[in-house]
Amino acid sequence: MNTEPQTTEFASPERVDLATVRRQHDMWRASALDHPLVQLLLDALSTGLVVVNATRQIVFANGTAEDFFGMAMSELLGTRAGEALRCRNAADSPGGCGTAYPCRYCGLIKAILDAEDFGQRFDCRMLKDNGTAIDLGVSATRFSLASERFVVLTLEDISSEKRREALERVFFHDVLNTLNVLQMGIEVSLDELPEDKGTMLLGATRRIVREVRGQRSLMEAERGALSVLPTEEDVSKVAKDICDELAVIPEADGITIHAGEVPAGIRMQTDKGLLGRVLTNLLKNAVEASATGDTVSVGCTQNDTRTLFWVRNPAVMDRSTRSQVFHRSFSTKGAGRGLGTYGVKLLVERYLKGKVGFQSSEDGGTVFFIDLPNIYPRLPIV
């Protein structure tokens, strides 16, 4: 162990000597890595795989990691990951990677220090010594070999993903702000517009706002970043309001949207916005699947613990369509569609804590149903 006095403002600065690192590297190779098939599989991984020892020094890296660092295995041995990545904090601190004050906020160091027996995912924002920035996705798994402790890391450059997320946030923020201004302008001008035109413009603007918010929610849901705000709601009114809004869209021309099977006064604890987006998706899909003269109906029942919504249309799905309904990229409406039922399933099952399903038959047409708890389940406080 290197016993030279070093200062640190976070993790231990101690290191083992290069002879120990080489011994650990040889131990890994002797245990598995000399098998050609294992080596081939490790190098075939699309993510960088790195093994660090108890002092956070690299003892093994696969071919993808060598390319990621821009260094050969012989150069990586004994360095720390932040040093190989040329992190500015590692370069500025005498103790190297993990010892500067900002390192306590580094996802890479936290991944190593907090590693468990299964892979944990951490995000790491790093500024390099040349002024460029990189975002990393890091997974860490603790592993013991010959009574010595190691951490197996997988590293992935997620800079493009993070930039896209930032652009999406700005886009949705700016678009919704513009739409809100437009909506307020229409609302204050209603007295000056013909009644039918004012109603049409206001309804169209509200639908656009709902669509944009729904798309934002779906993208946040896929990232696991969607916030759920459950409140006590009269959900029968939510359903009927959506039916009234959709009844005037062009696709509903000649189609009757019937909300007579939604009893008044049904209350439950849920996220009103998410429930509204789910019902809107199902009703729009039902309208688009219907023909002139058809009736699309929405219904709701409730018992002591659960509330069941359903949306029915007379069209019947063929077997191929039924088998792919909830797939992300599938749609009967052409390329680039298919997020409707996929988004419904994602929002209902992951965020509203319910169940979603459907039935399609010659006798009953196609019915989608959503089964939700009356009381939104909250995690216990520990």
Residues 69 and 183 in one domain: no
- The pLDDT, as a whole number, for residue 250 is 80
* Number of C-beta neighbours around residue 98 at 10 A: 29
Residues 60 and 177 in one domain: no
Structure tokens at 292: 């002139």
Asked if residue 269 is part of any domain, the answer here is: yes
Residues 97 and 35 in one domain: yes
Decide if 109 contacts 18 (C-beta within 8 A): no
Looking at the 3D structure of the chain, how many domains does it have?
Answer: 3
Asked if residue 31 is part of any domain, the answer here is: yes
Tens digit of each residue's pLDDT (9 = 90 or more) over 179-190: 888 888 888 888
* Segment 274-294 mean pLDDT: 91
Q: Which of 114, 133, 157 is the last residue of a domain?
A: 157
How far apart CA 134 and CA 160 sit, in angstroms, is 9
Q: What is the mean pLDDT of the chain?
A: 87
- The pLDDT, as a whole number, for residue 61 is 93
Q: Which of 125, 157, 189 is the last residue of a domain?
A: 157
Residues 289 and 356 in one domain: yes
Lowest mean pLDDT among 15-24, 111-120, 352-361: 111-120
- The pLDDT, as a whole number, for residue 2 is 55
Residues 369 and 249 in one domain: yes
* Segment 25-42 mean pLDDT: 74
What is the distance between the terminal CA atoms of the chain, rounded to a whole angstrom? 40
Decide if 51 contacts 150 (C-beta within 8 A): yes
Lowest mean pLDDT among 20-29, 141-150, 199-208: 199-208
Residues 233 and 375 in one domain: yes
Q: What are phi and psi of 21, to 5 degrees?
A: -60, -45
Asked if residue 9 is part of any domain, the answer here is: no
pLDDT at 372 over 60: yes
Asked if residue 4 is part of any domain, the answer here is: no
Asked if residue 25 is part of any domain, the answer here is: yes
pLDDT at 309 over 70: yes
Residues 197 and 282 in one domain: no
Decide if 360 contacts 319 (C-beta within 8 A): no
The proportion of the chain whose per-residue pLDDT surpasses 90, expressed as a percent, equals: 50
- The pLDDT, as a whole number, for residue 107 is 94
Show the domain range for 200. 159-226
Structure tokens at 367: 């019915």
CA dihedral for 171, 177, 178, 179, sign (positive or negative): positive
pLDDT at 202 over 80: yes
> Which candidate, 18, 115, 110, 89, places its Cα nearest to that of 59?
18
How far apart CA 261 and CA 245 sit, in angstroms, is 17
- The pLDDT, as a whole number, for residue 187 is 85
- The pLDDT, as a whole number, for residue 177 is 87
Asked if residue 11 is part of any domain, the answer here is: no
Residues 180 and 145 in one domain: no
pLDDT at 34 over 90: no
Q: Which of 133, 157, 181 is the last residue of a domain?
A: 157
Tens digit of each residue's pLDDT (9 = 90 or more) over 210-262: 788 878 887 888 888 888 999 999 998 889 888 888 887 888 899 999 887 88
Residues 80 and 203 in one domain: no
Residues 200 and 262 in one domain: no
- The pLDDT, as a whole number, for residue 366 is 95
Residues 255 and 369 in one domain: yes
Asked if residue 343 is part of any domain, the answer here is: yes
Asked if residue 97 is part of any domain, the answer here is: yes
Residues 76 and 103 in one domain: yes
CATH number of the domain residue 86 falls in: 3.30.450.20
The proportion of the chain whose per-residue pLDDT surpasses 70, expressed as a percent, equals: 92
